[in-house]
Amino acid sequence: MIQSKLCSLARCSGSLGLRRTAHTPVLASLRRKSTQAMPDYDLSVEYDHLNGVNGSVNGSMNGDASRLEQLREQLRVDHVTNGHHPEAQAAAYPIHTGVEIEAPEFKLYTKSLIKDLMAKRMPGVDHRPYTAVSSVIPMRSNNYVVDELIDWSNCPEDPIFQLTFPQPAMLHDEDINSVMHLLESGATKVETRAEIEKIRDTLNPHPAGQKELNVPKTGAEELPGLQHKYRETALFFPMEAQYCQSFCTYCFRWAQFTSVGSKQQFSCKEENVIHKYLKANRNISDVLFTGGDPMVMKAHHFRKYLDPILADPDMDQLATIRIGTKSLAYWPYRYLTDPDSDDLLRVFESVVASGRHLSIMAHFSHPAELSTPAVREAIRRIRATGAQIRTQAPIINHVNADAKIWADKWRMETRLGLVPYYMFQARDTGARDYFKVSLEHAYNTFTKAYSAVAGTARTVRGPSMSCEPGKVHVVGITEVNGEKVFVLKFLQARDPKWSDKVFFAQYDPEASWVSDLKPAFGAEKFFYEDGLQAIACAPTSSGQLFDFDADMGYDAQRYLMRS
């Protein structure tokens, strides 16, 4: 009974006891591994006991306060005496104990501040091309990225700078010069906007049939803010999630951010649309909140959408709620010191308490994004709610197109309790010519990194192309009957019957997307092409077209109601 109470108090303190200062009252730096044998009586055990109690009941155990201070000082002395100085171990503190994080004020950087920022951080570098390209490709960053992630001594080559600040080489020289001329010549906003939109139209703003094939319908009416590409998974784009704490320069949804309220945006304004759609489509087991970044929403916005779903007894088929986000990398204080951080974590707990799996689909592009105390503390707090964190990112030239980077990233993620999930191939949109790598390079990078990590990190899959027919996995490069080929298969597909099917494409060292590939062995077309054409002609989204076989539907009640 005592042990149960202590565990409950520890969970409360660790998950939700933090307010404007993200501080779980345990001195994480004081308990490192020692080369000496442990004493019969471990002071840290008593310290944790008293500290957990005091941190959970608002100081009602005042009689223990003096003893707590004595233990804190003794642990500090023992720690330094044993040669384990906190600063020497800062990168390896145990994440399950928590650390103190100050509450910074969010400061936004947009293209209007590029001139001043570069004058301060990159003196002597002409800001004008950066401002011009940022007029075409949306640019947004913040003080956490600028002050803690970017290595300004290594700019412009620094991978986080490449990741968050549009680079002049991302556009053709003539386009850069045209925009620079308009910005400097006093052209009207209408003239400048027209030229910018002309350039954007050449960048394939909505790849993979997102508008044509993914938007579901009820009758003849489209449902804005929803996508239903795969039978089991629906995507939801809340109106409040139409931006991010910082933009990625390679974002495949960059068109979402070019004009608020424009036809380019996917967004849902009605709070009951997602609930009604999930209830009417029993094949859907997973819903993904996406954007933009849903983590820019306030906690009460999450509740507005989630509470009706969680309270509905007829929604038993919904097993997993996913939230796609880059916030852990770009603003981990969302889970630490933002005004409603604790409320947000309570939302997470309510999802888990409903008997569903909550999966945070975290976008980490580089190991540097995992290196700060803030992100590690944010990870600890999220995991304390019962949520799982899966990680994914595309392989991107100038950022992470190297096997060592990926191996280090997966190792760090696994160590922090995260689950490596996907390596994607960069989509055919935006500044893709700047970021793309060949399929061969992506495959070799993945294979080399994969072979360097332990089995616990080998949950990851890739490289994968999220293209029009589905998620196409590059399984290998080999020879069959004397012909060198790519071995491919669908990890997920518009038609579920295509899933996990292996097919072959002619080897092409320059190919970087499925549209660059040709069928192997003299075939005229890939096996799925006729079916894809039929799906394109259908009156609804592909996710609405296919039911489970009679014996394969999810009978949740059969298992969930067993005693």
The pLDDT tens digits of the residues spanning 375-419 come to 999 999 999 999 999 999 999 999 999 999 999 999 999 999 999
Cα–Cα dist 183/179, whole Å: 6
**Higher pLDDT residue, 252 or 188?**
188
Please tell me the distance from the alpha carbon of residue 239 to that of residue 560, in angstroms, as a whole number: 33
Residues 151, 193, single domain; the answer is yes
What pLDDT was estimated at residue 218? Answer: 85
Find the mean pLDDT for residues 43-66: 48
CB atoms within 10 A of CB 167: 19
Q: Is residue 45 domain-shared with residue 118, that is, in the same domain?
A: no
Question: Among 175, 201, 227, where does a domain finish?
Answer: 201
Tokens of 87: 């600063």
Within this chain, do residues 80 and 153 fall inside the same structural domain, yes or no?
no
**Residue 531 confidence (pLDDT):** 97
What is the C-alpha to C-alpha distance for residues 246 and 142, in angstroms, rounded to an integer?
6
Asked whether the predicted pLDDT for residue 87 surpasses 80, the reply is: no
In sign, the C-alpha dihedral spanning 80, 86, 92, 94 is: positive
Higher pLDDT, 289 or 10: 289
Query: What's the distance, CA 206 to chain centroid?
Result: 20
Is 167 in contact with 125 (CB distance < 8 Å)? no
* DSSP structure string for 406-448: HHHHHHHHHHTT-EEEEEEEPPSSSSHHHH---HHHHHHHHHH
CB atoms within 10 A of CB 69: 10
Is the bond preceding residue 156 a cis peptide, omega within 30 degrees?
yes
- pLDDT tens figures, 316-333: 999 999 999 999 999 999
Q: How far apart are CA 317 and CA 234, in angstroms?
A: 13
Give a yes or no: residue 62 inside a domain.
Answer: yes
> By three-state DSSP, how is residue 335 classified?
helix
Q: Please tell me whether residues 53 and 131 are part of one structural domain.
A: no
Any domain includes 245: no
65 lies in the same domain as 117: no
Name the band, by pLDDT with cuts 50, 70 and 90, for residue 70: low
Contact 331, 363 (CB under 8 A): no
Residue 265 lies in a domain: no
Return the DSSP state at 368: G
In this model, does residue 74 exceed pLDDT 90?
A: no
- φ, ψ of residue 275 to 5 degrees: the values are -60, -50
- Beta bridge partner(s), residue 462: none
Write out the residue range of the structural domain in which residue 80 sits. 25-92
Which tokens hold the place of 59?
């100081």
pLDDT given at position 2:
36
* Residue 151: inside a domain: yes
Residue 52 lies in a domain: yes
d(CA 213, CA 229): 7
Domain end (from 151, 180, 201): 201
Per-residue three-class SS string for 178-205: HHHHHHHCCCCHHHHHHHHHHHHHCCCC
Cα–Cα distance, 320 to 5 (Å, whole number): 30
Range with the lowest mean pLDDT among 60-74, 187-201, 428-442?
60-74
Residue 394 contacts by C-beta under 8 Å, 6 or more apart in sequence?
A: 250, 365, 423, 424, 425, 426, 427, 435
Quickly tell me which residue has 């649309």 as its tokens: 273
Mean pLDDT confidence for 408-435: 93
Residues 493-506 have pLDDT tens digits of 999 999 999 999 99
With respect to residue 432, please indicate whether it lies within any of the assigned structural domains. no
- Mean of the pLDDT values across residues 202-219? 75
Cross-strand partners of 212: none
Q: For 41-53, what is the HEC assignment?
A: CCHHHHHHHHHHH
pLDDT at 392: 98
76 and 113 in a single domain? The answer is no
Residue 1 predicted with pLDDT over 50? no
Q: Judge contact between 500 and 512, C-beta under 8 A.
A: no
Q: Among 50-54, 112-116, 250-254, 540-544, name the one with the lowest average pLDDT.
A: 50-54
pLDDT-derived band at 193 (thresholds 50, 70, 90) equals confident
Spell out the residues 6+ positions from residue 513 whose beta carbon is closer than 8 angstroms to its own: 425, 428, 436, 439, 465, 467
Name the nearest CA neighbour of 6 among 72, 60, 47, 52. 52
Three-state DSSP at 363 gives strand
Task: Examine the pLDDT at 363 and tell me if it is beyond 90.
Answer: yes
Q: Residue 49 pLDDT more than 70?
A: no
CA distance 407 to 367: 9
| CB atoms near residue 275 (< 10 Å) | 20
Q: Of 1-5, 219-223, 268-272, 495-499, which gets the smallest average pLDDT? A: 1-5
Domain-embedded: residue 292: no
Among residues 201, 228, 260, the one where a domain terminates is: 201
Q: How far apart (Å, rounded) are the C-alpha atoms in residues 55 and 60?
A: 10
Domain count, the chain: 2
For the segment 241-299, what is each residue's pLDDT rounded down to a tens digit?
888 999 999 887 766 666 655 555 566 778 889 999 999 999 999 999 998 899 999 99
Strands 461-466 and 388-395: unpaired
Taking CA atoms, 302 is separated from 8, 216, 346, in Å, by 26, 22, 11
For residue 390, the number of C-alpha atoms closer than 13 Å in the C-beta half-sphere is 18
Q: Are residues 148 and 70 in the same domain?
A: no
**What average pLDDT does the structure give for the chain?**
84
The pTM of this model reads 0.82
Beta-carbon-side half-sphere exposure of residue 421 (alpha carbons within 13 Å): 18
Mean pLDDT of 359-375: 98
> 131 and 166: one domain?
yes
* Closest to 348 (Cα-Cα) out of 312, 384, 314, 391: 384
| Mean pLDDT score, 73-80 | 50
Domain-embedded: residue 542: no
On whether the CB atoms of residues 109 and 146 are closer than 8 A, the answer is yes
Coil/strand/helix, residue 347: helix
* Average pLDDT of the residues in 526-552: 92
Q: What is the pLDDT of residue 553?
A: 73
